[in-house]
């Protein structure tokens, strides 16, 4: 449960973190659907892939090590999800039953 709320600037919340990617993907491997605790670059860094929400997915250790620096097309793999930048408020408050009215403007922002 959220015990303490630290107000942070909007942009800061969007910063990509390993934990943020795992949470966005519900700790589920984007390649095989099993439990994931690592993150993987869809386009490998060695091929110009960036540290962005759109290029990072949760991956299990097995898939992560099999994929290494290959492209999905080389492996014949497909992503089970489309990686995206999380909606800030929805992402932060998901799981809460009662959302404070103060969140409204963020929850309904596109």
Of 55 and 64, which has the nearer Cβ to Zn ion?
Answer: 64
C-alpha distances in Å from residue 98, one per residue of 7, 26, 95, 104, 107: 19, 21, 9, 12, 13
Of 40 and 89, which has the nearer Cβ to Zn ion?
Answer: 40
Question: Smallest distance from the beta carbon of 46 to Zn ion, in angstroms?
Answer: 20
Of 27 and 106, which has the nearer Cβ to Zn ion?
Answer: 27
Q: Which residues bind Zn ion (CB under 5 A)?
A: 29, 31-32, 60, 63
Q: Which of 32, 67, 35, 37 is nearest to 49 (CA)?
A: 67
Question: Smallest distance from the beta carbon of 61 to Zn ion, in angstroms?
Answer: 8
Question: Smallest distance from the beta carbon of 78 to Zn ion, in angstroms?
Answer: 12
Q: Which of 2, 6, 7, 42 is nearest to 21 (CA)?
A: 42
């Amino acid at each position: 449960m959220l015990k303490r709320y630290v107000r942070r600037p909007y942009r800061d919340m969007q910063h990509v973190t390993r934990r943020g990617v795992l949470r966005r993907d519900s700790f589920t491997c984007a390649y095989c659907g099993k439990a994931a605790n690592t993150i993987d670059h869809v386009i490998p860094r060695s091929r110009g892939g960036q540290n962005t929400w759109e290029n990072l997915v949760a991956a299990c250790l097995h898939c992560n090590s099999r994929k290494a620096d290959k492209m999905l097309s080389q492996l014949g793999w497909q992503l089970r999800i489309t990686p995206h930048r999380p909606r800030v408020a929805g992402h932060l408050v998901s799981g809460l039953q009662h959302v404070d009215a103060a969140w409204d403007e963020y929850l309904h922002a596109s």
